[in-house]
Amino acid sequence: MAGFAGALDPALRVGDIVKDDSSGSIYTSKDIVATAAGKAELFRRTGAKAVDMENAIVRQFADRLGIRFIGIRAISDAADEAIDPAILQFIDETGRIRPAALAKGLIQKPAIVPELNRLRRNSAIAARALAVALRTFLDENKELFT
């Protein structure tokens, strides 16, 4: 499984890669962890390096089927970076942009534009790093796919 995650470990930076096969280095949360304080508390409590919202669910499913699971996540926000809660209303439960909510939010709070630009830049960095990590993983593990 591949995607983005938020850093819990303060040593991680945007674009760093975290792999999780069964070690628990990625904590799965049912809610977005949007504050630096929330990330710090989760890091202290769990010791996990990163947080996402899917890894453990898919790992459990794979375990039930007897399928090997590896999670590969690119960090899209550092442990000390918060995400403005207003931005969360722009995204649906599948992670897609809600255009009407975005337009309304920009009209109501135009000062959020720099935050959106930061998230766009971070996502682009994370996407490039994830692509490289996946290519490397696939090249190094060809025997799994033949």
| Spatial separation of the C-alpha atoms in residues 130 and 21, rounded to whole Å | 16
β partners of residue 91: 97
Question: Which tokens hold the place of 63?
Answer: 């375990």
| Spatial separation of the C-alpha atoms in residues 32 and 104, rounded to whole Å | 22
68: number of Cβ within 10 Å:
9
Task: Give this prediction's pTM.
Answer: 0.89
Question: Which tokens hold the place of 98?
Answer: 């809600």
pLDDT by residue, tens only, the chain of 146 residues: 999 999 999 999 999 999 987 667 999 999 889 999 999 999 999 999 999 989 889 999 999 999 888 899 999 999 999 998 888 889 887 778 999 999 999 999 999 999 999 999 999 999 999 999 999 999 998 887 76
β partners of residue 74: 4, 17
